Amino acid sequence: MKKLLVLLLLAVVGYSLYKPLSQVEFGADRIGDIENPTTVGAYYLSHTPSDLSVANVITAIVVNYRGFDTLGEVSVLFLAATGIGSILYRRRKEGEHSETITQPSSQLLQAGAKLIYPAILVLGAYVFIHGHLTPGGGFQGGAIIATGFLLMMMSYKDFHMNHTVLTWVESLAGITFVSVGIGGLIVGKTFLENFLAIGTLNDLFSGGIIPIIYIAVGFKVAAELAGVLDTLLSIKEK
Amino acid sequence: MMEILEYIGLAMVLIGGLFLFLGALGIYRMPDVYNRLQAGTKASTMGAMSVIMGVGFIEPDWFFKSLIIVVFIAIANPLSSHALARGAYRASLTPFMKKKMDAYEKEFQQKKED
């Protein structure tokens, strides 16, 4: 009886998936004419360069057209980091730092990590500063920076993130995002409205609030991921 | 002049492609982790460096950029293979011909005692 019910349910789900998808023509041009847009995708493609002067259309959609959604994503990430921290973090005595890495890494790795670490940080900063011009953005750049910190944590036993600094960076970045949004509400009509001058296409200082928000997101993601990695690496297994 | 540079670049891309192919073959053919690591990373370091440098010769505007990438590969690739091999040894994966030769064992045991 139970199996029959499951089969029935699967059939219903399958039919309701099949019915709308079967009407979509395979390989059809669903974006349409970009010059005279009739669909949402074509609208974004045709209006992003002229309205926002942002070369990377995906960034324009993520940060400007649905910036509120990105604010939600950032807060989801924040909640995840807080959750992991609250599960794994325990109060330590002064100066104590428990370790999962028992043996030190080789001298070669330590020297090499010192060489590569600044380059990784610069690359991450480049990726999120140029988020509106080239592929990438705040989330990607933040993740790259966190990998740089991970490299240092794994090479040096006594390399640890300062959690007070991380908390400050994270909070300031979040406040920047929200206050830029409220600025849009004050100057213009809606939350996260693009109220700054948009500049010319392909300039570093263009796109209004988009680079500011993406730089804030980059700092926030980097701080959160680095904090999570540091907490994960310093649990003591018993 | 430009044509000579282009031919040099194309030759370097060809050599790099060959090395990458040999590296892939090595990963398929070799018996254990260390040999595969050797084939994979050595060949791919040389192959990738040669291909990227060749691209720099074909497009002289990109020469400086490709030089930076090559330097990065020259640092990062051997380093990561070293870390992988060391991690594998520590995880007590025995080398294929351990009985004949294992130079690292002495040092490893000594470090353990320290």
- Whether the CB of B83 is below 8 Å from some CB of chain A: the reply is yes
By CB atoms closer than 10 A (0-12, 13-18, 19+), residue A223 is buried
Pick the closest to residue B80 from A104, A106, A222, A142 (CA basis). Answer: A106
Range of the domain at B53: 2-113
Nearest chain B Cα distance for residue A112, angstroms: 7
Which of B69, B79, B104 should one mutate to test binding to chain A, selecting the residue with the greatest count of A CBs within 10 A?
B79
Structure tokens belonging to residue B104: 């690292």
DSSP count for chain A of H helices, then E strands: 8, 0
User: How far, in Å, are A91, A97, A98, A101, A167 from residue A94 at the CA level?
Assistant: 9, 9, 12, 20, 19
CA atoms of A159 and A164, how far apart (whole Å) = 15
The predicted structure's pLDDT at residue A93: 52
Under 8 Å between Cβ of A214 and A221? no
One-letter amino acid at A95 equals: G
Cβ contacts of B76 on chain A, cutoff 8 Å: 112, 116
Between chains, do B90 and A109 touch, taking CB under 8 Å as contact? no
> Which of B75, B90, B111 is nearest residue A112 as measured by Cβ atoms?
B75
Residue recorded with tokens 């599960």: A87
The sign of the dihedral angle between the CA atoms of B91, B94, B99, B103 is: negative
Q: Which of B76, B82, B90 sits opposite A108 (nearest CB)?
A: B82
DSSP state of A204: S
Residue-level pLDDT at B48: 93
Alpha-carbon gap: B83 to the closest alpha carbon of chain A (Å):
7
Instruction: List the pLDDT tens digit at each of the 238 positions of chain A.
Output: 889 999 999 999 999 999 988 888 887 777 778 888 888 888 888 888 888 888 888 998 988 888 899 999 999 999 998 888 888 766 555 555 555 566 778 888 899 899 899 999 999 999 999 988 888 888 999 999 999 999 998 888 888 888 889 989 999 999 999 999 999 889 888 888 888 888 888 888 888 888 999 999 999 999 999 988 888 887 655 4
- Going residue by residue through chain B, which has 114 residues, state the pLDDT in tens, using 9 for 90 and above: 778 999 999 999 999 999 999 999 999 988 888 889 988 898 889 999 999 999 999 998 999 999 999 999 998 899 989 988 888 888 878 777 766 677 777 777 777 666
Q: Tell me how close the Cα of B49 comes to any Cα of chain A, in angstroms.
A: 17
CA angle A8, A9, A11 (to 5 degrees): 65
Mutate to test the interface with B, among A116, A144, A152 (most CBs of B within 10 A): A116
Q: Which of A108, A113, A119 sits opposite B72 (nearest CB)?
A: A119
Give the separation between CA A130 and CA A218, rounded to whole angstroms: 11
Q: d(Cα A174, Cα A172) in Å, to the nearest integer?
A: 5
Interface residue of A103, A134, A150, A152 to substitute, partner B, most B CBs within 10 Å: A103
The pLDDT score that the predictor gives to residue A91 is: 59
Nearest CB neighbour to A116, from listed B76, B90, B111: B76
Please tell me the predicted confidence (pLDDT) of residue A235.
Answer: 66
- The per-residue pLDDT for A28 is 76
Domain parsing of chain A, residue ranges: 65-233
Which pair of tokens denotes residue A73?
Answer: 């994503």
- A217, amino acid identity: V
CA distance B9 to chain A (A): 27
Check B75 against A103: CB less than 8 A apart: no
Question: Does residue B86 belong to the interface with chain A, where contact is any CB pair within 8 Å?
Answer: yes
Distances (CA, A) of A27 to A24, A31, A87, A162, B14: 9, 11, 48, 53, 37
Q: Answer for the pair A112, B75: CB distance below 8 angstroms, yes or no.
A: yes
**What residue of A is the nearest CA neighbor of B85?**
A106
Cβ neighbors of A33 (< 8 A, separation 6 or more) are A42
Cβ–Cβ gap B82/A109 under 8 Å: yes
Q: In whole angstroms, how large is the CA radius of gyration of chain A?
A: 23
Residue of chain A nearest B69, judged by CA positions: A119
In A, what residues contact B, Cβ < 8 A?
Answer: 103, 105-106, 108-109, 112-113, 115-116, 119
